[in-house]
């Protein structure tokens, strides 16, 4: 019975390595939101950015792989499509738990959403976000 508990415990630890969440994130020039915008807008396309990096011994950042960097790249891609905002933004943060991170160094973030062009007459953004 004890032999079966060890693999189950290891599976539970490894399964907790990924989280999926959504939140409002402000970015320069492009409005990023987890929700929808009131009023009309023109969809420009779906965007997904995967940002990968390394953490040496789980403590020292060796290369980028943060959520902020992924959101910055998402905003850049939205600008290339001529979008003013990205709606329905979702993000995933990929981390390795501490005991394993001492040997396994990858980390990263994935951000996805719908790039939209707002009408010229009204920005369509909620008050306080214009």
Q: Tokens 């939209």 sit at which residue?
A: 116
Q: What's the confidence (pLDDT) of residue 21?
A: 42
For the stretch 11-49, pLDDT in tens is: 555 554 444 444 445 556 788 888 888 878 999 999 999
Provide the CB-side half-sphere exposure for 3 (13 A, CA): 0
Residue 65 · residue 54 · CB < 8 Å: yes
Q: What's the confidence (pLDDT) of residue 45?
A: 94
CATH value at residue 64: 3.30.110.70
In the predicted structure, residue 86 carries a pLDDT above the cut 90: yes
Question: Looking at the 3D structure of the chain, how many domains does it have?
Answer: 1
Q: Say how far apart CA 42 and CA 58 lie, in whole Å.
A: 42
Q: What's the confidence (pLDDT) of residue 60?
A: 74
Percentages helix, strand, coil for the chain, rounded to the nearest 5? Answer: 25, 40, 40
| Domain ranges, residue 27 | 17-117
Residue 86 · residue 33 · CB < 8 Å: yes
In-domain check, residue 3: no
Q: Say how far apart CA 49 and CA 27 lie, in whole Å.
A: 15
Mean pLDDT value across the chain: 76
Q: What's the confidence (pLDDT) of residue 119?
A: 86
In-domain check, residue 2: no
Q: What's the confidence (pLDDT) of residue 108?
A: 86
Least confident range of 4-18, 57-71, 85-99:
4-18
Among positive and negative, which fits the CA dihedral 89, 95, 97, 98?
A: negative
Residue 60 · residue 16 · CB < 8 Å: no
In-domain check, residue 100: yes
In-domain check, residue 9: no
In-domain check, residue 26: yes
In-domain check, residue 7: no
In-domain check, residue 112: yes
In-domain check, residue 124: no
């Amino acid at each position: 019975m004890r032999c079966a508990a060890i693999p189950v415990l290891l599976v539970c630890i490894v399964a907790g390595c990924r989280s999926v969440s959504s939140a409002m994130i402000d970015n320069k020039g492009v409005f990023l939101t987890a929700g929808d915008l009131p009023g009309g807008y023109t969809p420009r396309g779906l965007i997904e950015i995967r940002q990968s990096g390394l953490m040496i011994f789980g403590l020292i950042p060796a290369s980028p792989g943060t959520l902020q960097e992924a959101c910055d790249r998402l905003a850049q891609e939205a600008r290339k499509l001529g979008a003013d905002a990205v709606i329905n933004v979702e993000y995933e943060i990929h981390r390795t738990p501490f005991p394993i991170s001492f040997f396994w160094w990858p980390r990263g973030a994935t951000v996805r959403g719908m790039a939209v062009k707002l009408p010229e007459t009204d920005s369509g953004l909620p008050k306080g976000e214009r």
